[in-house]
C-alpha cells in the first residue's frame, strides 16, 4: 500500500465494493486492450492476405491479355510477276526476292480486304495500310512461298499478325488519345480496325505462338514469345538436377551418416548454413568471375546458368536431405548392421531408399526456387540480347547463348514499348504455373509417401 500512495493519485482507490458482474473501469480498459490487440493481429493477417490477393489478381488481370493476340485473315495474291520474274519456279530465283519485295503484295491485300467489307477508306495508296499489320508479315508470306513455290500466281489466305498498336487498341492499352503523337499510326487506322473487327476479318484469339515462339526485336512486340527461353530454363534445370541432386545427396550422406565430430565437419556445416543466406547476386558474381572470366565457358549459356544455380540450390537440397535422413529411425540402421551389412551397405540399401521421398520433395522445391531466380542470370549475360533461335541439338542447348524464363521476363519489363509489359505479365503466369505444378508434385509426394515411424 505504501507503494500505491507513493505513486500518486493515478492509482485507483476503490471507495466501495462493486458487483463482480459489473466491470469496473480498469477491467473494461484491460478487456478493450485485449480486443484491440486481437484486432491488430487480425488486421495484420488480413493485410498479408490482401497483399497476396492483390498480387495474384494483378498478375492474372494484366497477364491474361498477353495470351491473346489480334490476327487478320488476309487473302494475298502471290503475283508471279513480282515473286518469280523469270517464271521458271527456280527456288534460287524465288529466294532472291527479299521481304521488301513481298511488302507491296501485302499492302494491296490489306487494301482489298478493307474494300471488300465496303468500308469507305480515307487512304488511297496501298502503302498507307502498312501500319495495320505486323512487320513480320512479309517474312511469313515469304517463308510460305519458299516452302510452296507452286502456289505462286494463286491467291492464298493467310492468318497474319496485326500490328502491336492495333492489338493494343483492341485490348484497351492504346487509346485514341495516346496515339495523338504517335507517328506510327493514325486515328484513321483505328477506324479501319474497328470496321474490320466488326466484320470479323480482324480477330483476337488465343496465341499459341506466345507460348512456343521466340523473342522478337524491340519493335515487333506482337511477335515475341517465351518458348525459346523456356527451353533455356529447361536445359538449366537439367544441369541443376544432374549436379545438385547427386552432390547434395552425397554431401548429406557424409555429414549425416559418416562424418566424425571435428573441425573439418564443423567448417562444412558453417559454410552450408552461410551459403544458404548469401544474396543470390553474389552467386552471379562468382559465376561471372569463375566460370566466364576464368574458365572461359561460353557467356549466356544455360550450362553456366545451371552451374551457378546448382551452387545456389545445393544448401537447400543438403538441408532437406539431411532432415529426411535424420527422420529414418536408428532401428533400421541397427537391424541392417545386425545382419552383417557394412555401414555403406546400410546407408545405400536401406536408409537412402526410405529417405528418398523426402529427398525428392526437397529437390523439387529447390529446383522451383532455382527456376524463378533471376539476379545471378543477369550477371552471366542471359539478358540484353534477343533469344530468337531454338537450340539445334542437345549439346547446342547447353552451350549456345539462350535466355531463361525469368531473364526473358526481366528483358521484356525493361523494354520501352508498353506492349511488352503484358507479355512480361503473361510470362509470369507461365512461370508461376510451372512453380505451382512443381510444388504440387512435392506436396503430393510428401502426402503419398510420408511415413511416420
- Footprint of another protein on residues 280-309 (CB under 8 A)? 280-283, 285-286, 288-290, 293-296
**Residue from the set 352, 359, 428, 430 that interacts with another protein by CB under 8 A:** 428
Following CA atoms 414, 418, 423, 427 in sequence, which dihedral angle do they give, to the nearest 10 degrees? 40
Nearer to another protein, 195 or 268 (CB): 268
Rule CB under 8 A: which of 399-418 touch another protein? 406, 409-410, 413
> Using CB under 8 A, which of 20, 21, 277, 416 touches another protein?
277
| Cβ atoms 372, 406 nearer than 8 A | yes
**Cβ contacts of 310 within 8 Å, gap of 6 or more:** 239, 240, 243, 244, 247, 370
Is residue 391 within 8 A of residue 402, CB to CB? The reply is: yes
354 versus 432: smaller Cβ distance to another protein: 432
Q: Quick one: 43 or 115, whose CB is closer to another protein?
A: 43
- Find the shortest distance in angstroms from Cβ 439 to another protein: 7
- Measured from the CB atom, the residue of 134 and 346 that comes closer to another protein is 346
CA distance 387 to 292: 19
8 Å CB contact between 65 and 171: yes
Binding mask 362-401 for another protein (x = CB under 8 A): ------x--xxxxx--xx-x-xx----------x------
Q: How far is the CB of 77 from another protein (least distance, A)?
A: 36
Count of residues in contact with another protein, rule CB under 8 A: 87
Residues 3-42 that bind another protein (CB under 8 A): 30-31, 33-34, 36-38, 40-42
Provide, rounded to whole angstroms, the least separation between the CB of residue 332 and another protein: 19
Please list every residue from 114 through 173 that binds another protein, using CB under 8 A.
none
Residue of 12, 23, 26, 45 interacting with another protein (CB under 8 A)? 45
CB of 385 to another protein, least distance (A): 11
If one asks whether residue 433 binds another protein (CB under 8 A), the answer comes out as no
Binder among 432, 441, 445, 446 for another protein (CB under 8 A): 432
**Angle, CA 447 vertex, CA 441 and CA 448 arms, to 5°:** 85
Residue 385 is given by DSSP the state: S
Sign of the alpha-carbon dihedral angle for 219, 222, 226, 227: negative
Burial category of 249 from C-beta neighbours within 10 Å (exposed 0-12, middle 13-18, buried 19 and up): buried
- How far apart (Å, rounded) are the C-alpha atoms in residues 402 and 380? 11
Q: Which of 4, 60, 64, 250 binds another protein (CB under 8 A)?
A: 250
How far is it, in rounded angstroms, from Cα 224 to Cα 218? 9
Amino acid at each position: 500500500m505504501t507503494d500505491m500512495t507513493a505513486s500518486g493519485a493515478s492509482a485507483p482507490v476503490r471507495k466501495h465494493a462493486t458487483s463482480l458482474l459489473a466491470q469496473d473501469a480498469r477491467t473494461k480498459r484491460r478487456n478493450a486492450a485485449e480486443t484491440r490487440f486481437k484486432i491488430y493481429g487480425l488486421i495484420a493477417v488480413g493485410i498479408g492476405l490482401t497483399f497476396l490477393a492483390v498480387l495474384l489478381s494483378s498478375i492474372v488481370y494484366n497477364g491474361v491479355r498477353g495470351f491473346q493476340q489480334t490476327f487478320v485473315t488476309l487473302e494475298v495474291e502471290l503475283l508471279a510477276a513480282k515473286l518469280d520474274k523469270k517464271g521458271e519456279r527456280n527456288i534460287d530465283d524465288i529466294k532472291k526476292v527479299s521481304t521488301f519485295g513481298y511488302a507491296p503484295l501485302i499492302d494491296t491485300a490489306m487494301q482489298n480486304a478493307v474494300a471488300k467489307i465496303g468500308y469507305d477508306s480515307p487512304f488511297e495508296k496501298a502503302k498507307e495500310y502498312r501500319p495495320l499489320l505486323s512487320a513480320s508479315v512479309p517474312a511469313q508470306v515469304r517463308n510460305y512461298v519458299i516452302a510452296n513455290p507452286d502456289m505462286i500466281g494463286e491467291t492464298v489466305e493467310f492468318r497474319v499478325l496485326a500490328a502491336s498498336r492495333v492489338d493494343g487498341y483492341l485490348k484497351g492499352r492504346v487509346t485514341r488519345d495516346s496515339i495523338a503523337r504517335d507517328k506510327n499510326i493514325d486515328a484513321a487506322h483505328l477506324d479501319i480496325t474497328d470496321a474490320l473487327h466488326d466484320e470479323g476479318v480482324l480477330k483476337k484469339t488465343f496465341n499459341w505462338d506466345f507460348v512456343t515462339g521466340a523473342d522478337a526485336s524491340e519493335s515487333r512486340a506482337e511477335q515475341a514469345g517465351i518458348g525459346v527461353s523456356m527451353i533455356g530454363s529447361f536445359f538449366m534445370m537439367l544441369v541443376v538436377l544432374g549436379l545438385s541432386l547427386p552432390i547434395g545427396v552425397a554431401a548429406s550422406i557424409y555429414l549425416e551418416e559418416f562424418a566424425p565430430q571435428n573441425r573439418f565437419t564443423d567448417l562444412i556445416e558453417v559454410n552450408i548454413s552461410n551459403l544458404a543466406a548469401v544474396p543470390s547476386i553474389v552467386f552471379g558474381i562468382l559465376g561471372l568471375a569463375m566460370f566466364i572470366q576464368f574458365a572461359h565457358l561460353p557467356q549466356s549459356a544455360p550450362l553456366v546458368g545451371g552451374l551457378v544455380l546448382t551452387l545456389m540450390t545445393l544448401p537447400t537440397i543438403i538441408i532437406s536431405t539431411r532432415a529426411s535422413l535424420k527422420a529414418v529411425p536408428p532401428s533400421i540402421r541397427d537391424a541392417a548392421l545386425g545382419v552383417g551389412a557394412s555401414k555403406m551397405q546400410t546407408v545405400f540399401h536401406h536408409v537412402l531408399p526410405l529417405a528418398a521421398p523426402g529427398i525428392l520433395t526437397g529437390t523439387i522445391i529447390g529446383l522451383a526456387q532455382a527456376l524463378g531466380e533471376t539476379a545471378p542470370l543477369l550477371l552471366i549475360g542471359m539478358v540484353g540480347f534477343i533469344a530468337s533461335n531454338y537450340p539445334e541439338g542437345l549439346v547446342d542447348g547447353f552451350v549456345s547463348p539462350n535466355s531463361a524464363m525469368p531473364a526473358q521476363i526481366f528483358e521484356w519489363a525493361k523494354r520501352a514499348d508498353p506492349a511488352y509489359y503484358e507479355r512480361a505479365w503473361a510470362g509470369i503466369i507461365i512461370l508461376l504455373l510451372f512453380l505451382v505444378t512443381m510444388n504440387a508434385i512435392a506436396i503430393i509426394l510428401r502426402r503419398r509417401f510420408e511415413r511416420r515411424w
